[in-house]
Structure 1
Amino acid sequence: MSANKKNFQVPYTGVTKIQVGKKLGTSRLYIQTPSETYKFKFQFIKLEQVESSIRSFLPSSVLIESGQLD
């Protein structure tokens, strides 16, 4: 994975906040760590699908905030 600079790795313990929401009609996912915010856009994918997909590989203890994003 580290061979491609576009790949990244964030340990669960490093995640401080996860947000899903819509901005300008596009579903978005923000993953915050103490040092950086990773932002993802998903066009033509419902917000519920984004949240369901991310929830499938996160521990149940990780809170996902949903709503309007800045």
Structure 2
Amino acid sequence: MRIEIDQDTCVGAAQCARTAPGVFTQNDEGLSELLPGREDGAGDPLVREAVRVCPVRAISIFEE
């Protein structure tokens, strides 16, 4: 699995960081980003829920 966040779409609602704080955070501009080394979701069972709750669908999961 590979996770990507579209920074042009993200509005900084932080729903992903609230849902899966072990994978997502917010940068200095308030936009969501992946924690270092978590690009594959790190086995966190809440990653898919974090993607689902994004209000603007800025997060994508790619199965590899």
Instruction: Give the TM-score band, short-chain normalised.
Output: under 0.3
Query: What TM-score does the superposition give when structure 1 sets the normalisation length?
Result: 0.26
Decide which structure has greater strand share: 1
Query: What TM-score does the superposition give when structure 2 sets the normalisation length?
Result: 0.27
Decide which structure has greater helix share: 2
| Structure with higher RCO (Cα < 8 A, 6+ apart) | 2
Larger Rg: 1
